Amino acid sequence: QVQLVESGGGSRQAGGSLLLTCVVSGYMSGRNCMGWYRQLPGKERDGVATIDSEGGLSYADDVKGRFTISKDNAKNTLYLQMNNLKPEDSGVYYCAADPFRGGAWCHVYQYGLDSWGKGTLVTISA
């Protein structure tokens, strides 16, 4: 089973930036999906951004233009660059991966990914 370890969370003032990192271990097939999800205080977990094995991207509307998802296959690492952070971005950010499904199945409204990390906390102050 794929294991995921997130890092990079922390506290920033509004307008600041953070880079989240997720190290992936375990088997990932040539068709896969990886993504970042977040759970804001008192809310359900929502998709933030996903990337499939062909490089297809999907973003939540409220992060478009501010967040960028990317991956380094050689380092088995997924990233989320977050710029122009807002207080409403505060929450726990989770890395997720599915080692066998990708393409059209992979998007920010897909919550059925097989493996999830334990999360990293992001706190943005006004």
Token digits of residue 119: 């999360």
Residues 53, 33 contacting (CB under 8 angstroms) = yes
- β-sheet with 67-72: strand ranges across: 3-7, 18-25, 77-82, 67-72
- The three-point CA angle 38-88-7 to 5° equals 40
pLDDT of the residue at 9: 97
pLDDT of the residue at 41: 86
pLDDT of the residue at 1: 87
pLDDT of the residue at 70: 98
Q: Mean pLDDT for each consecutive 10-residue tract of the chain (126 residues)?
A: 96 98 95 96 94 96 98 96 97 97 95 96 97
